[in-house]
Structure 1
Amino acid sequence: MSTWNCRVCGLDYDYSPWGPQGDTPDYGTCECCGAQFGVDDYSVASSRSFRQQWLSGGTAWFYPNLKPADWQLESQLSQIPAHYR
């Protein structure tokens, strides 16, 4: 099964909220950083800007009840697609 990673925080998903071709966002929200797909990650610059805000704000999970007990920030950030780092 292929995965897709959030352009802002690197969280992995089993589906692409940007559609199969990567160009049709579903406008959902990342469970971790709270980025709205198609709004906060529509470009490299917007992804980096939102990431900086999220990091500066303490990296709180948008849905804290979904945060894994063994969550590793650095490991997740390393999964950000290279183009969006």
Structure 2
Amino acid sequence: MPVWYCRVCGLDYDESPWGPDNQSPDYSICHCCGVEFGYEDYTPDSTRRYRAEWLANGASWFYPKVKPANWQQAAQLRQVPELYR
């Protein structure tokens, strides 16, 4: 099964919220960083700005109830696709 990673925080998903063509966002919200797929992560620059703001504000989970007990922020951020780092 392919894995897709959030462009902002690197959280892994079973399906791409950008659709199979990687061009058709569903505008859902990342459980970790709260980015709205297709809006704040539309370009590499907007993605980097959103990530910088998210990190500067403490990198809180948008849905804290799903945050893994052993969450490793640095490891997750390494999963951000290269184009969006």
Uncovered stretches (5+) of structure 1, i.e. residues with no partner: none
The amino acid of 2:26's aligned partner reads D
Uncovered stretches (5+) of structure 2, i.e. residues with no partner: none
In the alignment, the residues of structure 2 paired with residue 33 and residue 58 of structure 1 have an alpha-carbon distance, to the nearest angstrom, of 10
Residue in 1 aligned with 2:52?
Answer: 52
In the alignment, the residues of structure 1 paired with residue 71 and residue 2 of structure 2 have an alpha-carbon distance, to the nearest angstrom, of 21
Residue in 2 aligned with 1:24?
Answer: 24
% of aligned pairs identical?
A: 56
Deviations 1:22-42 (A, max 9, x none): 000000000000000000100
CA RMSD, 1 decimal = 0.3
Runs of 4+ in 1 over 6 A off after TM superposition: none
The amino acid of 2:14's aligned partner reads D
In the alignment, the residues of structure 1 paired with residue 18 and residue 26 of structure 2 have an alpha-carbon distance, to the nearest angstrom, of 6
The total of aligned residue pairs comes to 85
The amino acid of 1:69's aligned partner reads A
In the alignment, the residues of structure 1 paired with residue 22 and residue 59 of structure 2 have an alpha-carbon distance, to the nearest angstrom, of 26
Deviation for aligned residue 1:82: 0.4
Residue in 1 aligned with 2:84?
Answer: 84
Deviation for aligned residue 1:78: 0.1
Residue in 1 aligned with 2:8?
Answer: 8
